[in-house]
Structure 1
Amino acid sequence: MPYLVAYCGPAALPADLWFRWNTDPLLLAALAVFAYLVASGRSADARAGWAALALMAVVFVSPLCALSSALFSARVTHHIILIAAVAPLLARAFALPRLGYAPLVPVVAAHAVIVWLWHAPGPYTWGLATVPAYWLMQTTLLGSAWLMWRSVLAPTLQTGAALMALVATIGQMGLLGALIVFAPAPLYVVHFGSTAAWGLTPLADQQLAGLLMWVLAMIPYLAAGLWLAWSSLRVREPAL
């Protein structure tokens, strides 16, 4: 039998997946407050704010939450969306420049440590065992990613330094994904007993998760790097 994931509940089955929406009142209230902040013009970039809200609804409200109780690959997808899509959108929408920008190297390193920590089998299992632990996992992943993206997207940061930070992040996540792919045995006991309903063995689910982290996760960072490089070239073009 699979472990019970404290927040998202029992592992979703194919027959009930589309009925497994998360209607936690506290979560919905928090998202409503976020929507109010964006709608009231307190966001520096409203489109980024609405996109971040939509993606947070996907990872926390939609059936992806229940699916991530069943499959490690779904949980990794959840984390990728959180740190590689929601976080940069939040950094655009709520950069809070008055707070200043943290030094780039420490925030990139701290984010890497947090990502590796929460994907180690022991902390991962603990992080899904209770509601406080679950939200500690989510807030530290998202918070460290937001701090990193704030620094990467800071208007005063040189493009070369930002690109190096993105490359370093792609590298560490790719290495973690490769280690997960090539692990000789399943490591994430939370999902034991729940993968069969989805036609996967625990090891196949783990390998799929590693591939997602290795390949899929790099796309947002590559896109951001290309955007930064292109923006830098456009700024340097001489006026006609």
Structure 2
Amino acid sequence: MSPEDWNQIYCGPAPAPAEIWLRWNLDPILLLALGILAFSVGRSRSGALGVAALALAFVSPLCALSASLFSARVVHHVLLVAVAAPLIASAWPAREPRPAAAPFLISTAVLWAWHLPSAYDLALSWVPAYWIMQLSLIVTAIVFWRTILQPRQNGGYALLMILGGYMQMAFLGALLTFAPASLYAIHAVAPFDWGFSPLNDQQLGGLIMWVPAGLPYLAWGAMVARRGWRAMDGRLA
């Protein structure tokens, strides 16, 4: 890739609705990286599902759609931090229970920082910044979830941190939903092709962060609670 190729959207130009299902991303470097990750963590079912979630985010037409719509980019980020990251983390948990406050604060700061308009527009218009965004989101999320999903982690503490993870995302989503104007120049035109104004698209993205994004957090919380109940039953037995 030449330096000229860096100054563009990684997933390609914003697609028209008629061509979206033709826009698969078959970047050989990306496919190689996913293959290496699959070899590393894909022997467990959760690890394989985590790699599949990453493939959905980066290989499927969702990648191209996120060049058009902020709401699609939100789905992309939710897949990274609330689906792929905990799946991979559960296949590769921390060796010992550790405090999760620092990973929580770091992952939260990274998520919020990349949704600042200047940082977001830079990431979607310059390929190196795009990959810094993606890698920082997924790595900090994996570190957070590895701590939370450690098998001997205190169940109540883990549930509290999962709730905190959802609440910070929901709060960011609420701010985006009620913002009086669209914030992202990179999405100033393309949403019209999909029947949205830029502000409507941003509001939809905020609502996705605010409500549907809570579903994977709810699922992981239920898993942690179930594991705690089983451990308690074992001790009582």
TM above 0.5: yes
| 1:23 partner SS | coil
Question: Contact (CA 8 Å) 2:110, 2:136: kept in 1 or not?
Answer: yes
Match of 1:35 in 2: 38
The one of 47, 61, 73 aligned to 1:49: 47
- 1:214 is matched with 210
Question: In angstroms, what is the RMSD of aligned CA positions?
Answer: 1.5
Give the Cα–Cα distance (whole angstroms) in 2 for the partners of residues 5 and 72 of structure 1: 17
Tell me the CA shift for residue 165 of structure 1.
Answer: 0.5
Tell me if structure 2 keeps the 8 A contact 1:101–1:150: no
May I ask how many residue pairs the two structures share in their alignment?
Answer: 229
Measure the CA separation in 1 of the matches of 2:93 and 2:176: 33
Distance 1:166 1:23 in 2: 34
Distance in 2, matches of 1:8 and 1:102, equals: 37
AA matched with 2:68: A
The one of 20, 23, 30 equivalent to 1:20 is 23
Counterpart contact for 2:80–2:138, Cα < 8 Å: yes
Say whether 1:152 aligns with 2:148.
yes
Q: Counterparts of 2:105 and 2:130 in 1: how far apart (Å)? A: 22
Question: 1:76 offset after TM fit, Å?
Answer: 0.5
TM-score, normalising length: structure 2: 0.92
Question: Could you say which residue in structure 2 is the equivalent of 1:128?
Answer: 124
Task: Give CA-to-partner distance per residue, 1:15-46, whole Å, 9 cap, x none.
Answer: 1101111111100111122233346x5xxxx1
Partner of 1:10: 13
The answer to whether the Cα contact below 8 Å between 2:107 and 2:141 also exists between their aligned partners in 1 is yes
- Aligned partner of 2:3 in structure 1 is none
AA aligned opposite 2:77: H
2:62 is matched with which residue: 58, 64, 80?
64
In structure 2, do the counterparts of structure 1 residues 138 and 53 end up closer, same or farther at CA, with 3 Å as the change threshold?
same
Structure 2 counterpart of 1:71, which letter? L
Q: Contact 2:10 / 2:130 at 8 angstroms: preserved in 1?
A: yes
The answer to whether the 8 A contact 1:111-1:145 is kept is: yes
> Structure 1: where are the runs of 5+ without partners?
none
Change (3 A) 1:188 1:17: same
1:169-198 CA deviation, whole Å, 9 max, x = no partner?
111111100000000001111111100110
Q: Which residue of 2 aligns with 1:230?
A: 226
The answer to whether the 8 A contact 2:182-2:202 is kept is: yes
Q: Which residue of structure 2 aligns with residue 119 of structure 1?
A: 115
Q: Identity percentage over the alignment?
A: 46
Counterparts of 2:16 and 2:69 in 1: how far apart (Å)? 10
TM-score relative to the length of structure 1? 0.91
In the other structure, the counterpart of 1:179 is 175
User: Equivalents in 1 of 2:94, 2:172: separation in Å?
Assistant: 31
Alignment match of 2:101 (pick from 105, 112, 122)? 105
1:74-113 equivalence runs, <5 A: 74-95=72-93, 97=95, 103-113=99-109
Q: Contact between 1:12 and 1:66, CA under 8 Å: does it hold in 2?
A: yes
Counterpart of 1:8, as a letter, is C
The whole-number CA distance in structure 2 between the counterparts of 1:18 and 1:215 is: 27
1:20 maps to amino acid: R
Aligned with 1:140 (options 131, 136, 139): 136
Q: Aligned match of 2:188 in 182, 188, 192? A: 192
Unaligned 5+ residue runs, structure 2? Answer: 1-6
Contact 2:103/2:143, CA 8 A, preserved across alignment: yes
3-state DSSP of counterpart to 2:21: helix
